[in-house]
Amino acid sequence: MMKSLALLAAVALAGAFPASAAYPERPVKLIVPWAAGGDTDVIYRTFGPFLQKHLGNTVVIANVGGASGTKGAKEAKDSAADGYTIFAVHDSLHSTYYTGVADVAWTDFQPICLVSSTPSILTSSPKSPWKDAKAMFADAKARPGQVTVGASLGSTSHFFPALVEKGAGVKFKYVPYDGTAPRMNALLGSHIDMAESNLTQKGKADAGQLRFLAIATAKRNAAVPDVPTLKELGVDVIYAVNRGLLAPASTPADVMAKLRSACAEAAKEPGFEEAMTKQGTLVNFLNGAEYASFLKDNDKVNHDLAKELGLLKR
């Protein structure tokens, strides 16, 4: 009888704790909704080992590309809310929603943390007829809709040049690509005139394979001191791609706490900051609550941008 009571007590005690108490008991899948080799993929393949160190289990990067990042977004949204699938995002989560490319919104998730911010650079093919941004703008004004720009439609690579268009009073022709890697390959092959890039491409720019025309920061960047800011050229645009991690909306609180704690510790790792500096990216950590506020504000910015650019579908 005593043994039976002890067994019942043990079962009751086990039931008093959530099933997620031992989380993570198996590998965690991190969905990157773009092709391998792009900026987001590279950043999270760098961040992944630091995250798994503090999470206590393997983090497996899963590239789920397609439809300007929306295929991976849908898979992440529909995944079990148990902490074993998390989602790598940037600002396109907002822009693709408001332009009608996707039906996935940031409110379908819980924020884990913001990880990094990467300033955007207007970049051209070295075979383009212009040597600097002033010549490009003059050509674009003379030939409206003829200068080609590669972009993932509805994403940051589309919104950034669209803002430049508006600020400079020019009109570009957009050529769609699914993610950074194919877009940059098209630029390297001179199949398009321009695209958004960033300091991850500095080596190629130094080698003459690409040409940096203007950077979207408030001041010139010390890594590329000869590249003017858009503001210097009279185009009032400051822009960066902000990358963070999300989990499905009903993920348990204790699992979210573990994910957020691991993310905070991973972002502090000197090796991560070192790698990001080489990538031309800033470590820009925000905790769950701060990131939620950031996402809310960024959502409104993207809604208003989509409306202003005539792209609003929701």
pLDDT at 277 over 70: yes
| pLDDT per position as a tens digit, 134-158 | 999 999 999 999 999 999 888 889 9
Say which DSSP state 229 is in.
B
Integer Cα distance of 243 and 266 in angstroms: 14
| CATH node for 121-233 | 3.40.190.10
Which residue do the tokens 């990467």 mark? Answer: 118
Give 260-275 pLDDT, tens digit per residue: 999 999 999 999 999 9
The domains of the chain are located at 27-118+241-308, 121-233
- CATH topology agreement for domains 27-118+241-308 and 121-233: yes
CATH topology of domain 27-118+241-308: D-Maltodextrin-Binding Protein; domain 2 (3.40.190)
Q: Which three-class secondary structure string do you get for 112-171?
A: EEEEEEEECEEEECCCCCCCCHHHHHHHHHHCCCCCEEEECCCCHHHHHHHHHHHHHCCC
Q: What share of the chain is helix, strand, coil (3-state, %, to 5)?
A: 45, 20, 35
Sign of the alpha-carbon torsion through 245, 249, 254, 255: negative
Confidence of residue 13 (pLDDT cuts 50, 70, 90): very low
Residue 27 above 90 pLDDT? yes
Query: pTM for this one?
Result: 0.82
